[in-house]
Structure 1
Amino acid sequence: MINSVLYELKGNVALLTLNRPEKLNALNYAMIDRLMELLGDIEDNDQIRVVIITGAGDRAFSAGGDIHEFSKSIKQGAEVAVKEFVRRGQGMTKRIEAYRKPVIVAVNGIAFGGGCEITEAAHIAIASNQSVFAKPEINIGIPPTFGGTQRLPRLAGRKRALELLLSGDSFSAEHAYRIGLVNEIVSHNDLLASAYSMADRITRHSPLAVSRIITAVTRGINSTITEGLQIESEQFARMAVTEDVHEGLNAWIERRVPEYRGC
């Protein structure tokens, strides 16, 4: 049986590869469940500092949900479809969005539907110049179901998001960059190297501080500014009692590279 998500550890970075290239890495239930299982294992491993997610092959990051599979759930009625398909997909993107370690997606090709929604949920996205995006769910008569109606408007703005959601038209990596969906576009051959370079830029800092920043941004982005500032204060207070803070301050004063212990 094919391993639907490949796992590779390189130093303190975990590479997860969506592995159904013959199906354009379509997200079936087994793949989503395996991705969630791996994220759980990685979260408990203090040696791993960053997660990179990409797709197998040169054609696709992910073409979205496996239509043949979820259509069977839909035929069993709304209650079954919501339980088996919608909640599973939303649980995956919520997990990625709120993950306490940085998640970088390396978009190596088609990122349609659920593949685009993983990109929206990730903390950082780097796209190959060969990548292409779409919100095509409307073409089969459904709205996006893994968070696309909520995250894309927050990233791109309501009108630009609605144009993509209501037309179903594909759009380029350049357009994805302009609307804030991806951080950077690189040559296809440099994609993974660029993702690892981004990981290196993050892992030089305190893992606790990285986690606190992710939490503050994720929890605060949909709050009022007053609520957000309180969240920020809480995350600072949690950080202020750690050894990493003292090490960071002492290293700055002593003009040396800090040695963080993550405690």
Structure 2
Amino acid sequence: MAAPILLDIDDGIALITLNRPERLNALSYALIDQLMAALDQIEGDAAVRAVILTGAGERAFSAGADIHEFSESVTQGSTIAVRDFVRRGQAMTARLEAFKKPVIAAVNGLAFGGGCEIIEAVHLAIASDRAQFAKPEIKLGMPPTFGGTQRLPRLAGRKRGLELLLTGDPFSPEHALKIGLINSVVPHDQLLNAARALAGRIVRHSPASVSSVITATTRGLNMPIAEGLLVESEQFAALVPSRDLAEGFAAWKERRAAKYVGA
């Protein structure tokens, strides 16, 4: 049986591929667990500066949770269903959201349900012009459970988010762009190149400063602004003694490109 996750590291960028194309890259428990393990590996590898997350095949980024699998958990009652399904999915999206290195989704096809919740959680997203999005959990008689009721309204606004959550209707990449779910739409055959180009525009900067921006933004969005400003201040203070900040100032004064080493 093929591995549910593929990991390829090249030139400082880790490409993670959800690899169940025959099931539209449905999020099985094994896939989620291996994705978490891959993130652990990448986080500890100083040579990896950014992550691109995409789906195998031509049809889907991910069509969402593996319904056959999680419905079995549901038949065992709420305690088991919450433990095996909800907590696992929420841990995955929280991990992606708070990851210290930039995570860019390259949405190559369907991004439904839990697949869409991954898009909501990652830092940046580029969609193929063949992509399609939906929040269809309502059609199963349930709300989203991997964070969709919280992140989508924060991205799109309460009324636009609720419309998508309550109708379950699919929506286009152009609409996803309009509501702030993704950053851009590109021709399908340019998707990975566009994601790599975006990653390249980020990894030219100090790794420590990139991490501090992600941390301050992610934490601050869930706080009153006064508390968020304290987080911002803390992130800056932690960088004051760093080599990267000293190099950034020196490069600016000397009118040259900075050479960041991290820390």
For 1:50-105, what per-residue CA distance to the aligned partner results, in whole angstroms no more than 9, with x for missing partners? 00000000100000000000000000000000000000000000000000000000
Q: Which residue of 1 aligns with 2:222?
A: 222
- Counterpart of 1:84 in structure 2 is 84
1:82-231 matches, cutoff 5 A: 82-231=82-231
Q: Return structure 1 stretches of 4+ with deviation > 4 angstroms.
A: none
Query: Paired residue for 1:26?
Result: 26
- Taking only aligned residues, the RMSD between alpha carbons, in angstroms, comes to 0.4
Q: CA deviation at 1:113?
A: 0.3
Partner Cα distance (1:186, 1:253) in 2: 38
Does 2:12 align with 1:5?
Answer: no
Matched with 1:259 is 259
Query: 2:41 and 2:10 mapped to 1: Cα distance?
Result: 16
Q: Distance in 1 between matches of 2:140 and 2:246?
A: 55
- Does 1:38 pair with 2:38? yes
Aligned-residue identity in percent: 62
Compute the displacement of 1:225 (Å): 1.1
Q: Which amino acid aligns with 2:5?
A: V
Deviations, residues 143-179 of structure 1 (Å, cap 9, x unaligned): 0000000000000000000000000000000000000
* Deviation for aligned residue 1:241: 1.1
Structure 2: 5+ residue stretches without partners: none
Structure 2 CA distance for aligned equivalents of residues 141 and 66 of structure 1: 16
| CA distance in structure 2 between the aligned counterparts of 1:142 and 1:4, rounded to whole angstroms | 26
The alpha-carbon deviation at position 211 of structure 1 amounts to 0.2
Task: Report how many residues are paired.
Answer: 263
Displacement after TM superposition at 1:254 (Å): 0.3
Aligned equivalents of 1:10, 1:151: Cα separation in 2: 31
Amino acid at match of 1:250: A
Cα offset, 1:193, TM superposition: 0.1
What amino acid is aligned across from residue 66 of structure 1 in structure 2? D
Inter-partner Cα distance in structure 2 for 1:115 and 1:56: 13
**Distance in 2 separating the partners of 1:222 and 1:7:** 31
State the distance in 2 between where 1:251 and 1:144 align: 47
Offset at residue 222 of structure 1 (A) = 1.4
Residue 8 of structure 1: how far off its partner (Å): 0.6
Kindly provide the CA deviation profile for residues 204-241 of structure 1, in whole angstroms up to 9, marking residues without a partner as x.
00000000000000110111111011110000000111
Q: TM-score, normalised by structure 2?
A: 1.00
Q: Distance in 2 between matches of 1:12 and 1:65?
A: 30
> Are residue 61 (structure 1) and residue 84 (structure 2) matched?
no
Q: Distance in 1 between matches of 2:112 and 2:151?
A: 15
- AA paired with 1:255? R
Alignment partner, residue 249 of structure 2: 249
Deviations 1:92-124 (A, max 9, x none): 000000000000000000000000000000000
Query: In the alignment, which residue of structure 2 is the partner of 1:47?
Result: 47
* Amino acid corresponding to residue 29 of structure 1 in structure 2: Y
Give the SS at the match of 1:17.
strand
Measure, in 1, the Cα distance between the counterparts of 2:216 and 2:48: 21
Q: TM-score w.r.t. structure 1 length?
A: 1.00
Match of 1:75 in 2: 75
Deviation per CA, 1:169-207, whole angstroms, max 9, x where unpaired?
000000000000000000000000000000000010000
